[in-house]
Structure 1
């Protein structure tokens, strides 16, 4: 596809008919892209969730002027961004999300849980209740009211908590724990709701609340000692281990999205969200692929870059008459400077689409892609040599 055609298609893409949307529907700040977001969310909800789920925020950089939902967060690498609330599994698979529209975009400001607490409550509504699902989140979301509400709806919760949300819980201060040494902890248990609050001292004191895990059994974690200049074992409660092992799913997803993300400028703010969710779909598919490879015992699955290239190749070649790609380079005059040609096999989707795979005869004999026997039978679309004899039909085996 040429550049001009690609830019033309990009300019004409729309997700909703602007003239067909009533004035009541435009109160939603995401009405220009709402059909796409709804379709994408429905597909995410079809995935069977894992037992441990993490809730956190994901940021999409945006510096344009024509958007009412962009947020300014001081100290970030990209201060102006779109904020997306996400619920992911430990492996990084996205299960549910919601694009934040600002304080005026929702009716949660008057709730006792606040905006962040209501986000966890809404994202947990799409999970089956009383099925032993465990939620993890950081101190932005955690409060006593949230833990009590999730208990009533049949969910367990673990997360860090801020000091001003402890409601009179008398834990040892950071100064007292630092005198006792690194790795010390203190905890309190609320008898009525069985909520535990733990404060553990590492380099600093960190406070966590949970309804499903406590301090025992203790284990050890390696930490660097500046005074002795060596690693030493530090005592660690179980709640710290569970939180650290289940909270990194969204960070893993975000890092994979940013790793091979192509930049595209547009005056329309919703195009940035559209492209971001396209990358989320690719990374989500890669996580499924790695999970299936692990179940099947495959040792070397494709890396994310190769997986992304296979998807692009499959979308280009499926249901086409012949193999497409760049035209061959002109041969240079000097024979020593001839470019090295690498034969790239077709994608599996294009190979098995059963469309326009025509056998032809070529002058030069090549090895068969299945049995490695030399043959002059060639697939016009796949651009590979495949033997086709009375005793062996590799052509059918390769395409079915």
Structure 2
């Protein structure tokens, strides 16, 4: 008996409705007869198997570069000419002093901004503590630009003379006794200025807090970038690296570890610097979520926004580099060179899987981008849009020159400028405790302005100074020597002639009239007591009637 099933007519209709199913052998036969006959069968099979998976990837599919589009032979790289003229954009006298270079970067506009915000914050703090009679803020007097500049000078000087406790700078004990601090600002005034130091206006009561986590320091960061871009244009070679500002307090965007940095946790700063160390732009890591992703690429494009399409070469480490970023910068007429992580999307798998002996190197090229690998003590993966993978001799301090790939040699030459800046500034640290994070960061920006002015001075001045001597030269202008006034200078002369000698009326316990030492005679090293004084002069000095009284009040 035959098996039950659909009729012949139904089977024919079903065959017309269902698409024909191709076997795997038929599929490969059709591909061989097509234009793809030169492709590898394994690659075709893998592309078919993973087609559905790759289409659901959220990242840009164009960055997932297949191995067959990379060439193992050298292909011409894009030739970009540097189209800017580096140097100062304003006129500076050839004999300008270190202080003038410093004030070129820290000008009166910045001082006025800080004094305005500091006085406003002190006023708000005063009214919030009005019930506390003995609060330090109740003795607040408005800060002036001159006093703020002296305050900054004292902060710098604390890096030159180090004390463990802040109040030790004002001690009169014989083991301390630093007159430069007591002459310009009292201890309480310094503490109060530090307490009220502010850079931006706080939101008023009932007003929503800004979403920008850096709103308390944003005016200073914007000032730094605008000031540097308005007075100086950098050379062709730029370096992009991160720096760590030590911060031990609680902070939402505090970083806990950066390899090879002096401080293992704190506030992370992204810095764009010239090859000679001049910091051109600063960006603070705030750990705020980015809906579109690509944080490293956004950092690079933000810091480089004023220097694209000019022919610059930027050197970066593996934290930033990728094939997609290199291609994006190349389209903006900007070279990039640096190390590369093996997990970055778009890296050629043939280079990643290649096994090398010590000293060997291999590279692949695509669309003006070169990705190479070199085996030294360990394997180093690198990327460049400017240099081909040629071997050059790199001189050493001791011994024979060492052979290295050209991109690695150039990367090592220009990549350590931010670390050197951190090292030089670490020799002169300012106060490091009892500060809010934005005050610590603001004072760090002051130090960056001082360091940049030092580099500009040594580049354009006839005299070259060490950073230590440059700091002292600036401090000598900010904190000039206080002239020791004579007793006659301490008493204002009344030109209206209403100062008259008056007999001392006080008596001692024995009933005798008290006498005072004559000020003029004492200056002549003559000890003479007199019974007359000038009651309208400060401290009512004792003066002999006649010549001494006239000489003391003479203009």
State the TM-score, normalized to the length of structure 1: 0.69
After TM superposition, which residue ranges in structure 1, 4 or more long, deviate above 3 angstroms? 19-25, 74-79, 166-169, 221-224, 230-234
1:41 has 2:220 as partner: no
Structure 2 counterpart of 1:123 = 303
What's the offset of the Cα at 1:233? Answer: 4.0
Instruction: Name the CA shift for 1:22/1:208 in 2 (closer, same or farther; >3 Å).
Output: farther
2: distance between equivalents of 1:19 and 1:194? 50
- Out of 472, 477, 497, the residue aligned to residue 309 of structure 1 is 472
Structure 1 counterpart of 2:394 = 221
What's the offset of the Cα at 1:162? Answer: 0.6
Segments of structure 2 that go 5 or more residues without pairing to the other structure are 1-184, 486-555
Instruction: Name the CA shift for 1:259/1:84 in 2 (closer, same or farther; >3 Å).
Output: same
> Greater strand share, 1 or 2?
1
Q: CA RMSD in A?
A: 2.5
Structure 1 counterpart of 2:292 = 110
The aligned length equals 298
What's the offset of the Cα at 1:133? Answer: 0.6
1:52 has 2:237 as partner: yes
Structure 2 counterpart of 1:63 = 248
Whether the 8 Å CA contact 1:84–1:100 is kept in 2: the answer is yes
2: distance between equivalents of 1:118 and 1:188? 26
2: distance between equivalents of 1:240 and 1:22? 56
2: distance between equivalents of 1:279 and 1:123? 20
Structure 2 counterpart of 1:133 = 312
Whether the 8 Å CA contact 1:96–1:123 is kept in 2: the answer is yes
2: distance between equivalents of 1:110 and 1:326? 65
Spell out the pairing of 1:1-400 with structure 2 (5 A cutoff): 1-20=185-204, 23=207, 26-46=210-230, 47-65=232-250, 67-73=251-257, 78-104=263-289, 107=290, 109-111=291-293, 114-127=294-307, 129-165=308-344, 166-171=346-351, 173=353, 176-178=355-357, 181=358, 183-190=359-366, 193-216=367-390, 218-221=391-394, 231-293=399-461, 296=462, 298=463, 301-317=464-480, 323-324=481-482
What's the offset of the Cα at 1:145? Answer: 0.7
What's the offset of the Cα at 1:288? Answer: 0.8
1:84-111, CA deviations, whole angstroms, 9 ceiling, x for partnerless residues? 111001110001111111133xx3x523
2: distance between equivalents of 1:276 and 1:302? 22
Instruction: Name the CA shift for 1:286/1:326 in 2 (closer, same or farther; >3 Å).
Output: farther
Segments of structure 1 that go 5 or more residues without pairing to the other structure are 225-229, 318-322, 328-400
What's the offset of the Cα at 1:206? Answer: 0.8
What's the offset of the Cα at 1:303? Answer: 1.2
What's the offset of the Cα at 1:147? Answer: 0.8
Q: SS in structure 2 opposite 1:207?
A: strand
Whether the 8 Å CA contact 1:135–1:157 is kept in 2: the answer is yes
Whether the 8 Å CA contact 1:134–1:157 is kept in 2: the answer is yes
Larger Rg belongs to: 2
Instruction: Name the CA shift for 1:21/1:35 in 2 (closer, same or farther; >3 Å).
Output: farther
Whether the 8 Å CA contact 1:172–1:186 is kept in 2: the answer is no
Q: SS in structure 2 opposite 1:102?
A: coil
1:185-242, CA deviations, whole angstroms, 9 ceiling, x for partnerless residues? 111111xx111111112211111111111123x3223679xxxxx9444322211111
What's the offset of the Cα at 1:135? Answer: 0.8
2: distance between equivalents of 1:153 and 1:22? 45
1: distance between equivalents of 2:408 and 2:258? 29
